[in-house]
Amino acid sequence: MYSVDLSMVSPGFERIITSGTELEQLVTGLIFTEGPLWDPEEKALIFTDIRGNKIYKWKEGVGLETIYAPSATANGLTYDNKNRILVTGWSSRTVWRINSDRSTNVLASHWKGQKLNTPNDIVVKSDGTIWFTDMFAGLWIPGMCVDDIQRYLDFEGTFRMNEDGSSLALMVDDLCGPNGLCFSPDEKLLYINESDINRTRVWDVQADNSLINGRLFYQDQGTEPGVADGMKVDVEGNVYITGSFGIHVVSPSGKLLGRIHVPEHVERHAANMAWGDEDWRSLYITARGCVYRIRLGIPGIPHGQVNRQKVLKEYSK
Amino acid sequence: MKWKFEKIIESDNIPIEGLAWNGQALFYSQPNKDLIFRMDLDKKIPTINRKYTGKVSGLAYGPSGEFYGCQQFSRRIIRMSTEGPAWAMTYRYDGMPYHESFHNTPKHITVDSLNRIWFSDPMHPLLGFGPALPFSNHQSILRLEMQADKSWKLIRSSYDTTNPSGVAVSKDAKKLYVGNRTNLVSEVREYIINNNGSLGKYKTLLSFINTHDDSAIIIDGICVDSNGRIFVCTGSMNNEFSSIYILLPNGQISESHVVPSGRVTNCIFGGVEMNILFIATQNGELLQVSNKNIH
């Protein structure tokens, strides 16, 4: 248990987190944790260990359980609208789905006949469309990609496709290390992190799901370890971005509200986050070998449309 | 005899590193551009063979045409198909904790007649890509040996190198030649290769005093000819003393030739009769020497 360390705090940040809040370490001893996903029925956190090549489930009072291995160095996770787990797989260079009977389907593997780079993070819009980033880092990071490590695409992009993998469309092609992505609560904005330059861009999402007006949303100016990796939003539209020091909480207007420190050891900075627990006010954080949890004052937008609708409805009361 | 150098590629100040001859064409790497080029002798116009190489430096062909590269960015040896896929070979030592098991930054590579892959593994200041992994506590010559199940095993071969560079193996696979830099000298070492692949003690064949400045002579790539002579690439960081030294199998210096270019990074034999010596330099020139006395 750590007493959380905050920095660059703006007035009002105490609504989100108070200085006495504690950061719990739930899991340690893994290699590279990512893709956290809360399962409200099981009351458990599902997450990946990319280099460890496994998908785990962690449950309070029970501990850690391997639920899928080898995972083809699975990275990001989310739910589709039928509550099936979607996976961005680094070594497989695909986006794939785990069905309820544990069978799998590949949803995306190529763009115009060329293999994708290494799909990194993934999000599903309420209309069921699947959006994912495709950076090339997985090809070059040792231990991430075990099959063909050749890069073929001349860009790092963000793609969109239908729930069944059809109609794959390239949405953005000028990104530098596209990584975490998420929609604003009303889904009128799409945020994408660019890890290589530690910044976040935002686009207006049109009714036909096209993107316009791409612009800089936030630039991480910190010098501490950490990069713009995972990203999530809370119900008020505040954006939580991993970065220097730990996690940056940024207002919808792009103003830094404060930074939450996530303890880093050797290169163990925060990689991604997921909202969880009954009230969706716990933020679960994957950070290299560890998983942490912190309680926050505002609930977040969870993975899965049922969960999302529920929390938005609850919050609007 | 004075060599006549023919310039194939003019300098663009992008270092050329790896050189490999596949029996038909010359391949060379430009790590800083993430490129590997192919040049057919009849055309003499290089074409891009592979993009996005991850700063591949050393190149080598195996006896059955396997194409290997030292992927510096990813700190691993890779095997490449002719044009398409590439695969990571082993990059970790067995039986070690994960974060302590990675080797350093492979630089030069050669494949001996027994299909063992030898490579130098210095701690390059260029950090590996992605979340950092600790470097080894040694800078060694490593080798990959194929196991009965066709997997490759990574084995540490040298225990006394400090900053290894060029590697070459004699035709009979009984001697390993290594460029190594210590605090005191830059030298070419000859190791006896024991029957089990381990290395015996070394003897120094060529040595330059380390002056600890940009004028210090560095030994880089090494290759051998069919007569067992050892060709050593040298030069300094300020691009002086660019030379090829030729050593006889007994270690005596036979010849040395000043190369009219920047620091010599690598050399390899090629051509139909294997009597063309291709020479790569730090300032991005590719030269050739055709000579009936070398092959």
Tokens in use for A77? 């996770």
Q: Which pLDDT tens digit goes with each residue over A294-303?
A: 999 999 999 9
Average of per-residue pLDDT values in chain A? 93
**Nearest Cβ partner of B84 from A143, A150, A267?**
A150
pLDDT at A265 over 60: no
Question: Is A32 touching B (CB cutoff 8 A)?
Answer: yes
Question: Is B99 touching A (CB cutoff 8 A)?
Answer: yes
Q: Which pLDDT tens digit goes with each residue over A177-186?
A: 999 999 999 9
Structural domains of chain B, count: 1
Q: Strand, coil or helix: what is B161?
A: coil
Q: Which pLDDT tens digit goes with each residue over A11-28?
A: 889 999 987 899 999 999
Indicate whether B253 belongs to any domain.
Answer: no
ipTM: 0.89
Indicate whether B106 belongs to any domain.
Answer: yes
Which CATH number covers residue B106?
Answer: 2.120.10.30
Interfacial A residues in 72-101 facing B (CB < 8 Å): none
Cβ contact A150–B91 (<8 Å): no
- pLDDT band of A2, cuts 50, 70, 90: low
Burial bucket for residue B166 (CB in 10 Å: 0-12, 13-18, 19+):
buried
Ordered by where they begin, the domains of chain A are: 2-316 (2.120.10.30)
Q: Which domain holds residue B66?
A: 15-216
- Please state, in angstroms and rounded to a whole number, the distance separating the CA atoms of residues A149 and A314: 46
The whole-number pLDDT of residue A316 equals: 82
Q: What is the mean pLDDT of residues A296-317?
A: 93
B72 to chain A: closest CA residue: A140
Indicate whether B192 belongs to any domain.
Answer: yes
Pairing assessment for the beta strands A169-172 and A178-183 based on DSSP bridges: unpaired
- pLDDT band of A1, cuts 50, 70, 90: low
A142 vs B contacts (CB less than 8 Å): 74-76, 88, 91-92, 102, 128, 130, 133
Indicate whether B134 belongs to any domain.
Answer: yes
Residue B165 Cα, gap to closest chain A Cα (Å): 22
In DSSP terms, B56 is beta-bridged to B71
Residue A144 Cα, gap to closest chain B Cα (Å): 10
- pLDDT band of A141, cuts 50, 70, 90: confident
Q: Is the peptide bond before A70 cis (omega within 30 degrees of 0)?
A: yes
pLDDT, greater one: A129 or B239: A129
Cβ(B6)–Cβ(B287) below 8 Å: yes
Q: Which pLDDT tens digit goes with each residue over A197-239?
A: 999 999 999 999 999 999 999 999 998 888 999 999 999 999 9
What strand order describes the sheet that includes A54-59? A33-39, A44-49, A54-59, A63-68
Cβ(A229)–Cβ(A268) below 8 Å: no
The whole-number pLDDT of residue B292 equals: 63
B83 to chain A: closest CA residue: A150
Cβ contact B131–A150 (<8 Å): no
B99 vs A contacts (CB less than 8 Å): 31, 266
Question: Is B91 touching A (CB cutoff 8 A)?
Answer: yes
Q: Judge if pTM exceeds 0.95.
A: no
The whole-number pLDDT of residue B125 equals: 64
Percent above pLDDT 90 for chain A? 81
Residue of B28, B33, B5, B6 lying closest to B17 (CA atoms): B28
**Nearest Cβ partner of A142 from B80, B85, B133?**
B133
B128 vs A contacts (CB less than 8 Å): 142
Q: Highest mean pLDDT range out of A153-167, A254-268, B70-84? A: A153-167
Indicate whether B282 belongs to any domain.
Answer: no
The whole-number pLDDT of residue A177 equals: 96
Cβ contact A149–B86 (<8 Å): yes
**Nearest Cβ partner of B74 from A31, A141, A148?**
A141
pLDDT at A143 over 80: no
Indicate whether B293 belongs to any domain.
Answer: no
Reading chain B (295 residues) residue by residue, the pLDDT tens digits are 789 999 999 888 999 999 999 999 999 999 999 999 999 988 888 999 999 999 999 999 998 899 999 999 889 999 999 889 999 997 888 888 877 888 999 999 999 999 999 999 999 866 566 666 788 899 999 999 999 999 999 999 999 999 999 999 999 999 999 999 999 999 999 999 999 999 999 999 999 999 989 899 999 999 999 999 999 999 998 888 999 999 999 999 999 999 999 999 999 999 999 999 999 999 999 999 997 666 6
Which amino acid appears at position B105 of this protein?
Answer: T
The whole-number pLDDT of residue A123 equals: 98
In DSSP terms, B202 is beta-bridged to B191
Indicate whether B193 belongs to any domain.
Answer: yes
Residue of B48, B98, B112, B104 lying closest to B71 (CA atoms): B104
Q: What is the mean pLDDT of residues A45-72?
A: 95
B99 to chain A: closest CA residue: A31
Indicate whether B278 belongs to any domain.
Answer: no
- Please state, in angstroms and rounded to a whole number, the distance separating the CA atoms of residues A154 and A176: 12
The whole-number pLDDT of residue B293 equals: 61
Which amino acid appears at position B207 of this protein?
Answer: S
pLDDT at A266 over 90: no
Counted residue by residue, chain A has a size of: 317
Cβ(B186)–Cβ(B211) below 8 Å: no
